[in-house]
Amino acid sequence: MQEIFLKAPPMGWNSWNTFMDGLDEATLREIAVSLKEQGFLEAGYEYFCLDDGWEEKTRRVGCGVDYDRKKFPSGLKSFGDFLHGLGFKFGIYSCAGTLTCGGYPGSYGYEYEDAQKFADWGVDLLKYDNCYVPTDVPGKFLYRRMGQALRETGRPILYSMCNWGFDDSQTWVRSTGAHSYRIGTDSRDTWENVQSVMHVLGKMNLTAFSGANCYADPDFLIAGMNGRGAVSNLGEEIGPNAGYNVYRMQFSLWCMICAPLMMSHDPRYTTPQTAEILLNRELLAVNQDAANIPAFPCRIEKMMEADASKCEVWAKPLSCGDVVVGLFNRKDTPAYLQAGFESMGWLLSDTVDAYDLWAHRPAGVFRGNVTMQVPGRDCVVLRLHRRR
């Protein structure tokens, strides 16, 4: 029996936000090549994940689920081999209920057959959703069942649980063997979506239940969607796409809280600004840091303006002894944010050198606290090094 032990959050790309269930093998092969050519694979985005919609619409009774032969003419084994040949790992999707969220066959009652098929196709990651689940079986039983089925295949398969934080999942997720677990709603390319998730994250005690081998997952990165992509056309949200400043905020916070980094834009349309965000090596190193301490919110000592509820300061200690501080301003106008060193574990008499992880240059010397002006709907992320 083989197991995975994750020492850093998983990174990759997922098909959902761009294609929803409109998958086709030729396009997906193009996407994989494009990701590799642009250096995403080399930067660590190694899981290439199919979301819902790869399945044949109906399951043949008594059999493991099969793939849609029109969408994947050469088959999923061959598709997986292609991904592996490029150097990617192969991610797939299923659901704990009778149907998936998109109405395709779910794995309920077929967990062991499906897990074996995934292993036979060379799958390295399973995202496991929570629609159409039976009402008489506790969610934790269903997620344990698939976790057990995956382990029994003997193939190391990263298990990515997607029950949106229902049933207090943070209290039992580790009993399922899941390596990551969704804690809320789907991400969307809008400011409303990002700011409401940021607000919720600020109220959760992530450090208590997210860390090595089992990471809380606030859903996909939206950087680079730029209003494009199937989920952008759902019509359920009003307003323009989020924009680069918001993409920077989401990416920064996801890196700081040890979130899985799953890109979701169409990489064939990566702009230089998108690449600058998603390939920010200094922030990727923060996400992948060996200490595995998710950022925690710090008390804001002083604000020059009112409306502190829309401003947050987060701190993430790194294994080398530096501390990364993120100042997030969800207001529309600039704000001065100040956070004292004590909540980060330093003393008010300490002096630190700051380095700006977006401007990629030194950002001054601070004593006792860090104070910066942050533009509206934007963030400043600093790496602080204490003078010893």
Give catalytic residues, as residue numbers.
Answer: 129, 186
Q: If DSSP codes are grouped into helix, strand and coil, which group holds residue 179?
A: coil
Q: How far apart are CA 75 and CA 82, in angstroms?
A: 11
Question: Is residue 52 close enough to count as binding ligand GLA by CB under 6 A?
Answer: yes
Nearer to ligand GLA, 92 or 380 (CB): 92
Q: What is the DSSP annotation of 34-66? A: HHHHTTHHHHT--EEE--TT-B-SSPPTTS---
Site for ligand GLA in 91-120 (CB under 6 A): 100-102
Q: How far apart are CA 347 and CA 343, in angstroms?
A: 9
Question: Is residue 289 close enough to count as binding ligand GLA by CB under 6 A?
Answer: no
Tell me how far, at minimum, the Cβ of 229 lies from ligand GLA, in Å: 13
Nearer to ligand GLA, 24 or 186 (CB): 186
Name the nearest CA neighbour of 102 among 191, 234, 220, 218: 234
Q: Which of 25, 51, 55, 189 binds ligand GLA (CB under 6 A)?
A: 51
Q: Which residues of 319-347 are buried (b: 16+ CB within 10 A; e: fewer)?
A: eeebbbbbbbbbbeeebbbbbbbebbebe
Nearer to ligand GLA, 145 or 188 (CB): 188
Tell me how far, at minimum, the Cβ of 126 lies from ligand GLA, in Å: 12
Contact letters for ligand GLA, residues 175-194 (x by CB under 6 A):
-----------x--------
Tell me how far, at minimum, the Cβ of 236 lies from ligand GLA, in Å: 12
Nearer to ligand GLA, 16 or 358 (CB): 16
Question: Is residue 55 close enough to count as binding ligand GLA by CB under 6 A?
Answer: no
Q: How far apart are CA 255 and CA 17, in angstroms?
A: 20
Nearer to ligand GLA, 183 or 300 (CB): 183
Pairing of the two strands 378-386 and 351-356: antiparallel
Q: How far apart are CA 293 and CA 215, in angstroms?
A: 11
Tell me how far, at minimum, the Cβ of 220 lies from ligand GLA, in Å: 7
367 backbone dihedrals φ, ψ, rounded to 5°: -125, 125
Question: Is residue 54 close enough to count as binding ligand GLA by CB under 6 A?
Answer: no
Tell me how far, at minimum, the Cβ of 151 lies from ligand GLA, in Å: 23
Contact 128, 96 (CB under 8 A): yes
**Which residues contact ligand GLA (rule: CB under 6 A)?**
16, 51-52, 100-102, 129, 162, 186
